[in-house]
Amino acid sequence: MKLELGNIIINDIQFTNEGSKVENGVLTVNPEQIKSLVLEDSNIESCEVFIARPGESVRITPVKDVIEPRVKVEGPGGIFPGWIAKVDTVGSGRTNVLKGAAVVTTGKIVGFQEGIIDMTGPGADYTPFSKTYNLVVKMEPVEGLKQHDHEYALRIAGFKVACFLGELGRAVTPDEIETFEFDNLVESAKKYPDLPRVAYVQMLQSQGLLHDTYVYGVDAKRTLTTIINPLETMDGAIVSGNCVSSCDKNPTYVHLNNKVIRELFKAHGKTLNFVGHIITNENVYLADKERSSNWSAKLAEYLGCDGVIISQEGFGNPDTDLIMNTKKIEAKGIKTVIITDEYAGRDGKSQSLADADPSANAVVTGGNANQVIVLPPMETVYGHLHFVDTIAGGSANNIDAHGNITVEIQAITGATNETGFHNLSAR
């Protein structure tokens, strides 16, 4: 299976009164086209569109999702199968990517666990999306819309806008083409018989109550632990649908650019044999946790793994799933490395995870989400600033008389991402 990603490097976004287009590295957008597309949904009352560039004095909050614009130009399937495209299997052919651009959705908050993106200042150092050129789509729901309908409306609107922008790159010649190939188990074993066999176990947020992740349009909590081709993940098979703390939630952009998968491909055939991508869920009931972790261990053994990397999404309740996966896979004689973040208290002295086991002795941390930061005022805010005292990581009256906001870094989108989609760690 071979996937080509044709990266069209975007160096700016600009507005126009004419037709939207991509030309010479500039994404030119007619905001009225975006508004018309969004307002096709009768559940959305209003829509505003803004541009946020790296280095500008701009704050976006509360952030719902971040999505990379893409278009399928060759091969089966389409973008965001099960949501926008039909459910044909993706992961092969050519997908063009507006690399460096992102759609950021915001507006009235759905759940309290949403986040902040600062485009400059100290907060910008903690979010990878201060480096992207962001088309910000602020949407407000009709009065009385229920939470799940509100969540769905924002989610699907973001996907539609990303696909609209991606389509602008269909006929554009990419600046670079990345090629990824993934063999079946038999061919892989023949090619690299002497390299350690390594798989990736990715835990998908699926606790419900707006804590959801979707695989080909299906809520992950309704699925059994399974094997997916990593190229499918890179081509949009998995999308975000959750409101977990913004520091460690995986926006759709992160699923499309999963750092663990990319690093495993870099090492594939050199220091290891990347043999599979196992996706498992994070349910709330003990029987579901036992079932899912049993299957993770079973599939890791089935793939003949010598080692696995396990990443989680979220914290607290999912820490139990993380440790269950680790214990059971280690019990099969398979070495594990886990990627998590920590909630060690503002002084860093509390227990980092809600669960622990001696077998979890190889850990990569994304940092302490309880670390406190002071965010200075920005000249412009896209969204609603008054939610910053109620989002996860915020606190009552946390904006002082000068406009400074005191929050934990768990309020910053992507600050402690548990797939390594940033540069923060701890020592």
Q: Which residues contact 368 (CB under 8 A, 6 or more apart)?
A: 341, 342, 343, 344, 348, 352, 409, 416, 426
Nearest Cα neighbor of 123 from 368, 374, 387 is 374
Contact 308, 329 (CB under 8 A): yes
Handedness of CA 415, 419, 420, 422 (dihedral sign): negative
Q: Which residues contact 12 (CB under 8 A, 6 or more apart)?
A: 25, 26, 27, 53, 133
Contact 109, 384 (CB under 8 A): yes
> How far is it, in rounded angstroms, from Cα 341 to Cα 362?
13
CA angle 250, 254, 256 (to 5 degrees): 130
CA dihedral 282, 285, 290, 292 (to 10 degrees): -30
> How far is it, in rounded angstroms, from Cα 331 to Cα 167?
48
Strand partners, 367: none
Contact 220, 187 (CB under 8 A): no
Show the tokens assigned to 149.
């309908």
> How far is it, in rounded angstroms, from Cα 161 to Cα 230?
25
> How far is it, in rounded angstroms, from Cα 385 to Cα 117?
12
Q: Is 243 a catalytic residue?
A: yes
Show the tokens assigned to 73.
């130009």
Q: Given the residues 163, 243, 247, 305, select the one marked as catalytic.
A: 243
Q: Which residues contact 205 (CB under 8 A, 6 or more apart)?
A: 211, 212, 213, 220, 242, 244, 249, 250, 282, 313, 314, 318
> How far is it, in rounded angstroms, from Cα 359 to Cα 346?
27
E-strand stretches of 54-191: 58-67, 70-74, 93-99, 101-107, 115-118, 133-141, 176-181
Q: Which residues of 113-143 are buried (b: 16+ CB within 10 A; e: fewer)?
A: bbbbbbbbbebbebbbbbebbbbbbbbbbee
3-state secondary structure (DSSP) of residue 378: coil
Q: Tell me the catalytic residues.
A: 243
